Amino acid sequence: KPAPSGTGTQCPECAIPVTSACKFVTAPPEGEKVHIVLGFDANYPPFTYVLPNGSAAGFDIDVMKWIANKYGWELELKPWDWSTIVTALENGDLDVIASGMSITPERASEKIWFSIPYYSYIHELVAKADDTRSADEILNSGAVIAVQKGSTAEEWADKLLAEGYNFQKLALNSYVEALQALLDGRAQALITDSAFLEPYLKQHPDVAAQVRVVTTLGAPETYGIATRPCDIWLRTKINDALHELMTSPEWNKLLEKWGLG
């Protein structure tokens, strides 16, 4: 695990723009209540989703609650559409995004900077349990392979296609639907990430019996908490807290609770 740093993952050559949305550049005056708006995409269990009573839940939510609790911050939870979530952050509608957000160089730009990575996962090629073909056979069979629209899994699919593999990409709206397509027989395989798949299979043993992971793809990737680049104080505080949490026994309990162990 990386040591805590002041800046987390950032864009090295980017200047830090200070806009009116920047609220946490430096420490707020003593005694002032810190109010943080947490934006998340409720479409991403077990990291962020909603409970039947409408309240937010998930691993990321628990992490942010722990951090807010530690500092005595007020935490406001705001579900937000994924496609405009960064714009909302930039414009001050949100202050942090903790929603299973992968750290990629494209994302860590002048718009958002990340905290230290707090979770790592790997992409996987999944097929039906009775499909005995190898990964290469599947990827070259012209078969339909389902992914989630806009996910890093789709990036993987695109990358493989660009490398000359022969399959059809079917990009659906969520992992759940992509998995559904595999189970329906509409797709012959699925590219997904372990962050989604493993907890899901733990929760749904019947599904787990029907599928098998054919192979993993590439190296592990990581999630980070996104903030405005200018909110240096906030990011530092989050990094400190994350570091503390990740080295405490509490961390494993949290992972355990959400099936991410």
* Residue 196 β-bridge partners: none
Our CB check for other proteins shows the closer of 3 and 162 to be 162
Other Cβ atoms closer than 10 A to 247: 11
Type of residue found at 231:
D
Q: How far is the CB of 94 from other proteins (least distance, A)?
A: 9
Stretch that binds other proteins, among 10-18, 82-90, 135-143, 245-253 (CB under 8 A): 82-90
Q: How far is the CB of 104 from other proteins (least distance, A)?
A: 8
Interaction between residue 79 and other proteins (CB under 8 A) = yes
Q: How far is the CB of 181 from other proteins (least distance, A)?
A: 8
Our CB check for other proteins shows the closer of 110 and 244 to be 110
Sequence-separated (6 or more) residues with CB below 8 Å from residue 173:
148, 149
Interaction between residue 189 and other proteins (CB under 8 A) = no
Q: How far is the CB of 31 from other proteins (least distance, A)?
A: 27
Among 177, 202, 244, 250, binds other proteins (CB under 8 A): 177
Binding positions for other proteins, 26-55, rule CB under 8 A: 42-45, 49-54
Interaction between residue 83 and other proteins (CB under 8 A) = yes
Cα radius of gyration rounded to whole Å, the chain: 19
* Residue 56 β-bridge partners: 50
8 A C-beta contact, residue 158 and residue 191: no
Compute the distance between CA of residue 96 and CA of residue 218 in angstroms, rounded to an integer.
Answer: 29
Q: How far is the CB of 68 from other proteins (least distance, A)?
A: 20
8 A C-beta contact, residue 175 and residue 151: yes
Interaction between residue 203 and other proteins (CB under 8 A) = yes
8 A C-beta contact, residue 254 and residue 46: no
Our CB check for other proteins shows the closer of 181 and 238 to be 181
- Strand 35-40 versus strand 74-79 pairing type: parallel
Q: How many CA atoms lie within 13 A of 33 on its CB side?
A: 5
Tell me which H or E stretch contains 196. Answer: helix 194-203
Residues that bind other proteins (CB under 8 A): 42-45, 49-54, 78-88, 91, 93, 104, 106-107, 111-112, 146, 149-151, 154-155, 170-174, 176-177, 180-181, 184-186, 200, 203-204
